[in-house]
Amino acid sequence: MIKTTNIILSAKGGVGKTYIACDLAEYLFAHDVEFTMIDTDATNEWLTNTRFFKANKFDLKDSESFVTSEKLPELAIIYTNKNLIIDTGANSYGSWVSFLKNNGGLDILQSNGNKVVLHVVVPQGQMEFECINSLKELCDLEQDVTLVVWLNNAIASGINPLSIKDFYKDIGDDAILNKIHYVIELPQCNRVDRVLVNKLHNKNLCMTDILLATNSELEKIDFGDGKFGNVVDKVMSKTYQKKIFNAIDIIKPLYVDEASENDENQK
């Protein structure tokens, strides 16, 4: 399969860009796809502090500490010929859009043979329409790019999840919808899932960390208040991750040669 440069974008903060980047990374890992994680978020250190992802921090600030697009061509050169997952911050959204739309960014990113996949996060709730405006801006790109929309129902509870049908209705513009290649409808976090995600996040862990851990390793994870990891955490992680992976399966053809995978499974 051709290598991909995956950029997670949204002009709004707190919509789950890092959450989506991690979901995609764990999905690729589960399908034996090697990847390099890059963190360009200037304000959030969580990803680079999380052992599993081994994220490389890439500073977009110039000599005057302003976030700009000046260094983005350098990123393409340094990480050539690799599957990339690039997490971005809301403060760098304008720089990324400027790079992609006005400064030949797509041509630069594709010059190493990688396919560019833009992942746009649209959350349920009041921020939906602000994120849709970001999506419409990216739909103006004229070059060949794969556009994936993630309906992130995992960041809020107590409100109705955003469905693909409702999203299409809210867009209400066939010209925009025709430019979207995939829409992923992530499952809503129930209360149990939320407790799991939060306690893992607080320890800089992800669900794959728990699934790969032995029982003795689990018992050494101190979640505080006298609570340590156990087999229940593993079962819960496996159950919730399966729901997420089922939703992500729609974009599996971008990353996995299913014919080759079937051959491997038959050996």
Q: Is the pTM of the predicted complex or chain greater than 0.85?
A: yes
What is the average per-residue pLDDT within 167-195?
A: 92
Q: What is the CATH number of domain 4-189+245-254?
A: 3.40.50.300
215-264: per-residue pLDDT in tens?
999 999 999 889 999 999 999 999 999 999 999 999 999 999 865 565 55
The pLDDT score that the predictor gives to residue 191 is: 86
pLDDT band at 111 (very low <50, low <70, confident <90, very high): confident
Cβ neighbours, 10 Å, residue 174: 9
Which three-class secondary structure state does DSSP give residue 154? coil
The pLDDT score that the predictor gives to residue 91 is: 86
5, 99 Cβ separation under 8 angstroms: no
Which residue ranges make up each domain of the chain?
4-189+245-254
Q: In whole angstroms, give the CA distance from residue 252 to residue 236.
A: 24
What is the average per-residue pLDDT within 139-166?
A: 86
Q: Look up residue 204 and give its two tokens.
A: 């800089």
Cβ neighbours, 10 Å, residue 92: 22
Q: In whole angstroms, give the CA distance from residue 179 to residue 159.
A: 28
30-81: per-residue pLDDT in tens?
999 999 999 988 778 888 889 899 999 998 888 777 888 888 888 888 888 8
